[in-house]
Amino acid sequence: MIMTFEGEMEMGTHLGIRGLGIVTGYGWGVAPFWDGLLGGKHAASLAEGYGEGRDRAAWIAAVPPGGDDSDGPSTFGRAMRGAAREAVADARARGWREGRRVGLLHAVVLGEVELWRDFYLRHGGDLASRDYLRLMPSTPMSLLMQEFGFHGPAMNVSAMCSSGNAGLLTAKAWIDAGIVDDVVFVATDVSATPENVLHFERLGVAFSDAEPPEVCRPFQEGSRGFAMGEASVAMILSRESGGTSYAHVLGGAMSHDAHHVTSIDPSLTDITRCFEEAIENAGVEPSDLRYLNAHGPGTAQCDRAEAAVFDSLFPSEAELYSVKPLVGHCQGAASAVEIAATALGYDRGTIPAPPAVSAAHPRLLDGPTPVQEGVTVKSSLGMGGHNSVVLLSGT
């Protein structure tokens, strides 16, 4: 039974998250992801070849080797198709029967990072046509559509760290407009290479010289920033009444600060507006809000911004959390990973919040907590000014 709010559609007509597929630093599949979150153990491990001189080890929540050999040589392509394959199988097992028009949305910021690097540095720009085609952003999407015989529209969505939220809201818009019956939504980021990590470290927001709980402490004292992570997360989105959903997507909103390429507008005008418009779009009252699943990267400006909005807009009993200390900051896949955590939490009755490690915001969740009735707000503040907010409810 889904909760009913004023202005909401009847039961069964909300957009449901019908299936999940997840690849993270914890491993390949939903099970290791959920077990890792509940265990409160971060997904990072030490990797060699990082730093200015490529001579030190770094704590990175990287996707481990795995996947299907037939999906090609890259972790990116294997993770994307592996997550989607798991999500389709999961949704079908839970009663989903796809409609005639199944679309594909892929949220991605940096695509085949390793293959492009090898293309220039190892192969001198000279590859066989078959191998060159693997570099194209259309290729993993085309292969996935072929595998399942889906014929709806297929396209990429990119809004930096907000890409997962942006993709989910785009999928909802497609379904609301009648363009498709169902959407396979995937968000993939396998970009924690030494080069990329180094540049985020130079920006002063990423740190890999210590284990994540020592670095990333969202809404707590002593936080320095975030640890880098990788992931591919797939969701099957549908309004079909049969079967069960992990969670329902009530609505959301997006805005842009138009202020700076890295910094948040200190007035918080457009971030606040994004929250307010998302709540209105979802058809709920502020009193219905129970959780903020925050962007929460552990950086001073992001945590300060989200805490300010939380304190001003949310009711006194609402609580907040961020799973970035556990899974890392998965860049283009970040908000999708965090939506998956909320969806699994509703389905299994537990909010998989990480344990607090220092003095914290008084309403920060401290470790896994039983789910209370109410709406979860998932916010994401992408670099460059991308703001996005999605509202989710349980089944």
Q: Report the run of H or E that residue 26 belongs to, with start and end.
A: none
Say what the pTM is.
0.94
* Burial class of residue 199 in the structure, from the number of CB atoms within 10 Å of its CB (0-12 exposed, 13-18 middle, 19+ buried): exposed
SS3 96: coil
Q: Supply 76's token pair.
A: 């990116």
> How many residues would you count in the chain?
395
Neighbours of 394 (CB within 10 A): 23
SS3 206: strand
List of residues 6+ apart from 15 with CB closer than 8 A: 171, 172, 175, 237, 238, 239, 248, 249
CA–CA gap between residue 249 and residue 172 (Å, rounded): 8
CA–CA gap between residue 177 and residue 162 (Å, rounded): 22
Q: pLDDT of the chain along its 395 residues, tens only?
A: 233 333 333 333 579 999 999 999 999 999 999 999 999 999 999 999 999 999 999 999 999 999 999 998 999 999 999 999 999 999 999 999 999 999 999 999 998 988 888 888 888 988 888 888 888 888 999 999 999 999 999 999 999 999 999 999 999 999 999 999 999 999 999 999 999 999 999 999 999 999 999 999 999 999 999 999 999 999 999 996 667 999 999 999 999 999 999 899 999 999 999 999 999 999 999 999 999 999 999 999 999 999 999 999 999 999 999 999 999 999 999 999 999 999 999 999 999 999 999 999 999 999 999 999 999 999 999 888 899 999 999 97
> Tokens 């199944």 correspond to what residue?
102
